[in-house]
Amino acid sequence: MQFWGYKRKEGRAGIRNHVLILPTCVCGSETARIVASQVRGAVNIVFNTGCSDVQANTDMSQKVLTGFACNPNVYGVVIIGLGCETVGHKPLREKIQAMTSKPVVSFGIQEEGGTLRTIEKAVRAAREMAAEAGKQQKELCDISELLLGIECGGSDATSGIASNPAVGELSDLLVDMGASTMMSESIEWIGGEHVLAKRAATPEIHNQIIEVCRAYEEHLKAAGQDCRAGQPTPGNKAGGLSTLDEKSLGCIRKGGTRPIVEVLEQAARPTKTGAIVMDTAGFDISSITSMAAGGCNAIIFTTGRGTPTGNAIVPVLKVTANARTFKAMEDNMDVDLSAIVSGEKTYKEMGRELVDVIHDVCDGKLTKAEAYGFSDIAVDHVCRFV
């Protein structure tokens, strides 16, 4: 299978060709938003940290920012810094340039003499970059260039019994064709980690999966939180998910059944091809943020209760097997999988149908969240601000 994408000098092909306006820190976020609003083809993220952080948080932020810049859906990057943040625009630019040959420019608000002067220069730079991006022709790319992120959020009981198994089937079919998939949300492996670990390609990966779950529980315990108190969420419980174990056993089905070839730290880039898992929060927006930073070029999102979320860089395709949710939130839901619950179709049949849907998204069809220009982001933290 092939799709029409944008070939990159390094790594996978893009399925979009965005100019990314990237703030180094919260103080650059509003300026970045204004710059992006002035240039067709540009997208921005609203970054809520980058200053007064402990080193571990800074490390996480830097992985996310550089990961976004290197995401295959990004043609080029315009960085907006302030001047006194932990990692300024110049060092961030140099980091990104060491990772990718795509065009990267940067400006500092304090150096330029305020917001308006920065906007003027950055809009000009972004406009020129967008003009060049417009010249790039799409080329036929092999499906192996696809790295599909697999997410679930606002889960209810239909997620685990219908939409997640269908997406698991999609994942298996894609992996068999040579593509890669990434399932995250490690807190939602807990209670099903022994089942997930059976998919490990090696004993080392098996143990990594178990240890990721243990570490997550211990991390929350150190902050005085029992993971079973926050999960399932009130919405999950109202949707029929009674325990974390029940939620997890349903969640892990979205990753399919193929051997797990790599366990990644949050926001890290894969080194293997096939079915990959990443250690992220169960908080869907944060998990998507980390998977986009890890280089996913498309994301499929199963939901039961319904969610509007979208990402600036990576198209997020929303699917639900809850017929009521699809009807109530049709303007946010992309695919109705409720035929699985009603018994009209099997999850395997609907998984096969999803291959064509994802293929269309790769070819350029906008998801609903993408058409609205949604740009949700949540960078995970390990500690309070200083």
Partner 1 sequence: MKINALLIDETDNVVTCVEEVPAGNEVFYRKGGEVLSLKAAENIPYCHKAALRDFSEGEEVIKYGEMIGRTNSAIVKGGWVSDKNIYSVPRDYDSELIPEGGNH
Binders in 19-78 for partner 1, by CB under 8 A: none
The binder of partner 1 chosen from 108, 232, 256, 351 (CB under 8 A):
232
Binder of partner 1 out of 206, 254, 258, 368 (CB under 8 A): 206
Cβ 386 vs Cβ 52: under 8 Å: yes
Whether residue 14 contacts residue 73, with contact meaning beta carbons closer than 8 Å, is answered with yes
For partner 1, which residue of 95, 124, 138, 237 counts as binding (CB under 8 A)? 237
Residues in region 250-269 near partner 1 by CB under 8 A = 250
Q: Which of 87, 173, 200, 362 contacts partner 1 by CB under 8 A?
A: 200
Give the number of other Cβ atoms within 10 Å of residue 361's Cβ.
Answer: 25
Neighbour tally for 155: CB within 10 Å: 29
Of the candidates 34, 32, 72, 27, the one whose C-alpha atom is nearest the C-alpha of residue 50 is 27
Backbone conformation region of residue 381, classed left if phi is above 0, alpha if psi is from -120 to 50, else beta? beta
Closer residue to partner 1, CB minimum distance, 259 or 373: 259
Residue with Cβ nearer partner 1 (224 or 343): 343
If one asks whether residue 183 binds partner 1 (CB under 8 A), the answer comes out as: no
By the rule CB under 8 A, 190 interacts with partner 1: yes
User: What is the footprint of partner 1 within residues 321-380 (CB under 8 A)?
Assistant: 322, 324, 341-343
Q: How far is the CB of 338 from partner 1 (least distance, A)?
A: 9
Contact status, residue 307 vs residue 154, Cβ threshold 8 Å: yes
Write the interaction track for partner 1 spanning residues 208-227; mark x where CB under 8 A is met and - where it is not: --xx-xx--x----------
Q: Which of 79, 122, 244, 296 binds partner 1 (CB under 8 A)?
A: 244
Among 203, 223, 271, 386, binds partner 1 (CB under 8 A): 203
Q: Between 130 and 340, name the residue whose CB sits nearer to partner 1.
A: 340
Burial 119-140 (b: 16+ CB within 10 A, else e): beebbebbbbbbeebeeeebee
The distance of closest approach from Cβ of residue 212 to partner 1 in the complex, given in angstroms and rounded to an integer, is 10
**Contact flag: residue 279 with partner 1 (CB under 8 A):** no
Residue 37 or 207: the one with the smaller Cβ distance to partner 1 is 207
Return the number of the residue (113 or 234) whose C-beta is nearest partner 1.
Answer: 234
Closest CA to 295 of 264, 259, 318, 317: 264
Of residues 118 and 248, the one with the C-beta less far from partner 1: 248
CB of 221 to partner 1, least distance (A): 11
Size of residue set near partner 1 by CB under 8 A: 41
Name the site residues for partner 1 (rule: CB under 8 A): 156-158, 160-161, 190-195, 197, 200, 202-203, 206-207, 210-211, 213-214, 217, 228, 232, 237, 239-246, 249-250, 304, 322, 324, 341-343
